Structure 1
């Protein structure tokens, strides 16, 4: 798109509504509702056509351990510089359907009172681009909306990630729709075109990890200076997987993101406490468990994973926070991997009451 047209579009609310509100998809390109529980796969259609023959946008379907209803999961990236994709480009409409939609929108805009000047020029340039093979510096034009190639490819358009809080990032895939032949890759300048790596990031974003409530001995209530043992059993705590896939005419790709627990961090909720080990980081054992269960006769031993409170909590409680670090990788179409993604963390808080040891005076 040349500078003058880009300026024209950016200076007219009406033109923006046409070019970027209608053509750039406003609806998320993934299954809007997860079916069943968080462990179940979505059953929503991922593409195809309805009774009128108009294609729906390529939808992303999630399965595995994912949050319900398309919401974000509970895992947090340990890398503050890494975020899930805020937007991407995906198949939108076939040539005939795109022509129908565009023609209706352009006619409506041109007949809107006051649609002149900069806005009118922008709409006219847009119409020439798709009807008269008018190309801009970085985008080839199309003759009659490419209808001679209908069925041989799709117009692709930008899709916003509805879970991205930054509106500027979310709306940054704002190039006007472009044509891609079936089985061909989008032009290289569209780095945000949907691909397995983007799907892996979205699977990461929607992944639902299990609660991290650790087993404690003693439970809930402990004594000052008494070691408290903490552990997580492998049977309750194992790898978690989430998959994101696109199955659409000419585009079938998927990515599976796997989270593997690697360590547990204990934060006692007060400075008046010691942790075991001193760092508070309990690493995973060879059998996949974390820490060691308490057994009778170990009261005088130092737990491999645990803590010791040095002061009573009085009438209240301390908030013990247990956070698991997960090693996250992905595999997918064209990537047998696994390929590392930033580690993820997820924690929960437990209330711990600490009492003084009562002495008996004789």
Structure 2
């Protein structure tokens, strides 16, 4: 029965076509990885989108993903896009037939378990033939005529693809319908998850090369009770970044941009004062000589020393505003995103000597 179950899983046609037995799937997977950058998740081969991500600038390797401020929003887990020509689809489905796979040299069963294994394989092959037959009927006669071979070069079959960052998300199965035909240069109507500039922009959200939040302090190291600490983020490091997600056919794209707009400080104790009082400021202003008597535009003042060997966790959260523009002139904003860092600070009291 396990063989039958594996066949049913492999023949699921998630995102259009799986159609491979559990055994040969591993060999076929290597071919697909070379051909289209496929990822594998368990026994199911999941083909990666043809969407290309470009841009981002030189932000180094130490980048992070933003946490959307709107906790109910997520980038799309899957979408439909042009993937397979009529000829390719026909070849994929026909190659899934058990007789098309390289036959194994059968040996005479030596035990009851060998007989059961052979019986299970025969049953699995029968299931495979039945499922393949259903898909052959669908694309050859029921819905289309011979897979639309006569329209080769005039369009593509659109299939569901998974967002590689959310491949294990149950929502990625929402794009598991049959592959469907769309003429070149057109986009399908009444398909909410069909690729579009908006879908591309949301996908690009997680591909933004956001530098890890870092802050500078003055004074550095140990802090002093009732003395101001200047806090700021390096404006050369934290600047606007953009990436573009695009498809060649149909020729659509979207550029998603993130811009740092504010720094929020949480002192880690109620015995503290923030500047400004809300704790949220712009990226701050670096401290320099001559500013000793000025109130920091972004900073904190601790009112009580830390206990012995204790620290206050100063949390700094950088907020980025996100917007996008599509190749068709569309555009909008996406939920702002944040990334935080924490500095453990020791605060001491000034020791003074009182003389009579």
What band does the TM-score fall into relative to the shorter chain? 0.7 to 0.9
SS in 1 for 2:238: coil
Distance (Å, rounded) in 1 between the aligned partners of 2:73 and 2:84 = 32
The answer to whether the aligner puts 1:75 opposite 2:74 as a matched pair is: no
Write the mapping of 1:119-138 to structure 2, written as runs, cut at 5 A: 122-132=131-141, 134=142
Q: Deviations over 1:241-275 (max 9, x none)?
A: 1221222xx32221111112221100112232221
Distance (Å, rounded) in 1 between the aligned partners of 2:7 and 2:72 = 35
- The aligned residue for residue 215 of structure 1 is 216
- The aligned residue for residue 327 of structure 1 is 321
Distance (Å, rounded) in 1 between the aligned partners of 2:178 and 2:64 = 31
Distance (Å, rounded) in 2 between the aligned partners of 1:118 and 1:67 = 52
Distance (Å, rounded) in 2 between the aligned partners of 1:22 and 1:193 = 12
Q: Deviations over 1:178-217 (max 9, x none)?
A: 11111111242x3212221111111111112123322221
Write the mapping of 1:298-337 to structure 2, written as runs, cut at 5 A: 298-313=291-306, 314-335=308-329, 337=331
SS in 2 for 1:193: coil
Name the CA shift for 1:340/1:22 in 2 (closer, same or farther; >3 Å). closer
Distance (Å, rounded) in 2 between the aligned partners of 1:66 and 1:316 = 41
The answer on whether the counterparts of 1:12 and 1:119 sit within 8 Å (CA) in structure 2 is: no
The answer to whether the aligner puts 1:244 opposite 2:245 as a matched pair is: yes
Name the CA shift for 1:106/1:335 in 2 (closer, same or farther; >3 Å). farther
Distance (Å, rounded) in 1 between the aligned partners of 2:276 and 2:291 = 17
Q: Deviations over 1:269-296 (max 9, x none)?
A: 22322211221111x3xxxxx3333344
Moved more, 311-320 or 107-116: 107-116
- The aligned residue for residue 81 of structure 2 is 90
The answer to whether the aligner puts 1:350 opposite 2:350 as a matched pair is: no
Tell me the CA shift for residue 148 of structure 1.
0.7
- The aligned residue for residue 256 of structure 1 is 255
Tell me the CA shift for residue 159 of structure 1.
0.8
Structure 1 gaps, min length 5: 1-10, 34-43, 47-55, 135-140, 285-289
SS in 2 for 1:347: strand
The answer on whether the counterparts of 2:223 and 2:345 sit within 8 Å (CA) in structure 1 is: yes
The answer on whether the counterparts of 1:57 and 1:91 sit within 8 Å (CA) in structure 2 is: no
The answer on whether the counterparts of 2:320 and 2:338 sit within 8 Å (CA) in structure 1 is: yes
The answer on whether the counterparts of 2:243 and 2:255 sit within 8 Å (CA) in structure 1 is: yes
TM-score by structure 2 length?
0.76
Computed over aligned residues only, the root mean square deviation of the Cα atoms, in angstroms, reads: 3.5
- Aligned partner of 1:161 among 154, 163, 180: 163
Moved more, 17-26 or 94-103: 17-26
The answer on whether the counterparts of 1:24 and 1:158 sit within 8 Å (CA) in structure 2 is: no
Distance (Å, rounded) in 1 between the aligned partners of 2:313 and 2:290 = 28
Distance (Å, rounded) in 2 between the aligned partners of 1:57 and 1:304 = 47
- Aligned partner of 1:61 among 52, 58, 80: 52
The answer on whether the counterparts of 1:223 and 1:355 sit within 8 Å (CA) in structure 2 is: yes
Q: What is the aligned residue count?
A: 311
The answer on whether the counterparts of 1:66 and 1:73 sit within 8 Å (CA) in structure 2 is: no
